[in-house]
């Protein structure tokens, strides 16, 4: 928010960047091991972790009130809903 300028500390952002790069490397590394069935689940788990890092620390979602968090959760739920609905249909045919 742009009330009177509150000096924010830059350290947080650098740490977040480091964490994101580390997670990316981890995700890439695990992919090389070809864990078979578990591979996609882990990769998506790491991606979700990275996404929430970006949302929480870069986008600072917590500073924009509850509505923004509700929007984020509802969006993720509805995307998952569509994927499960269509995926289940084809998988269970």
Partner 1 sequence: MSEAYADRASREHALYLGMWVFLGSETLLFAGLFGLYSAYRAGYGQPFDEALRHNEQWLGSVNTLVLIVSSFFVAWAVHLTRNDRLRGALWSLVAVVALGLTFLGLKAFEYTHHLREGIAPGALYHYDLLPDPAARIFFTLYYFMTGLHALHVVAGLTVMVWLIRRIRRRRIDAHHHTELELGGLYWHLVDIVWIFLWPLLYLTG
Partner 2 sequence: MTALPDFWRADRGLRSWLLTTDHKRIGVLFFIGVSLSLLIGGVFALLLRLELLTPDRTLFSAATYNKLFTHHGIVMVWLFMIPAIPATFGNFFLPIMIGAKDVAFPKLNLASFYVYALGAIVTLVAMIAGGVDTGWTFYAPYSTVSLGRVGLVATGVFILGVSSILSGINFIVTTHTLRARGLGWFDIPLFVWAIYATSIIQVLATPVLGLSLALVGVDHVWGLGLFDPELGGDPVLFQHLFWFYSHPAVYIMILPAMGVISEVVSTFSHNPPLSYRAIAYSSLGIAFVGFLTWGHHMFVAGMSTFDAGLFGILSMFVAIFSAIKVFTWTATLYGGRIVFNTPLLYFLGFAFLFVFGGMSGVAVATSSLDVHWHDTYFIVAHFHFIMVGGTLTGFLAAIHYWFPKITGRGYSERWGLVSAMMVTLGFFFTFMPQFLLGNAGMPRRYYSYPDRFQWLNVLSTAGASVLALGMILTVGYLAAAIFRGDRTGANPWRSRCFEWRVPSPPPKHNFAEPPVWQIGCYAYDVEDHGSDDVGAKEAAS
Which stretches of the chain bind partner 1, using CB under 8 A?
A: 1-8, 10, 13-14, 16-17, 20-21, 24, 27-28, 31, 39-40, 43-44, 46-47, 50-51, 54-55, 57-59, 64-65, 67-68, 71-72, 74-75, 78-79, 82-91, 93
Sequential DSSP letters for 12-77: HHHHHHHHHHHHHHHHHHHHHT--TTHHHHHHHHHHHHHHHHIIIIIS-GGGGHHHHHHHHHHHHH
Q: Build a one-symbol-per-residue string for 19-58: x at contacts with partner 2 by CB under 8 A, - elsewhere.
A: ----------------------------------------
Distance in angstroms (rounded) separating the CA atoms of residues 60 and 53: 9
* Residue 88 interacting with partner 2 (CB under 8 A): yes
Q: Which 8-state DSSP code applies to residue 2?
A: -
Q: Build a one-symbol-per-residue string for 56-85: x at contacts with partner 2 by CB under 8 A, - elsewhere.
A: -----------x------xx--x--xx--x
* Residue 1 interacting with partner 2 (CB under 8 A): no
Distance in angstroms (rounded) separating the CA atoms of residues 70 and 4: 28
């Amino acid at each position: 928010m742009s009330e009177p300028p509150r000096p924010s500390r830059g350290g947080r952002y650098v740490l977040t960047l480091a964490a994101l790069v580390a997670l990316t490397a981890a995700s890439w590394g695990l992919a090389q091991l070809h864990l078979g069935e578990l591979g996609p689940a882990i990769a998506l788990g790491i991606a979700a972790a990275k996404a929430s890092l970006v949302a929480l620390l870069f986008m600072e979602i917590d500073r924009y009130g509850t509505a923004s968090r509700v929007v984020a959760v509802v969006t993720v739920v509805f995307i998952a809903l569509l994927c499960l609905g269509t995926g289940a249909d084809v998988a269970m045919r």
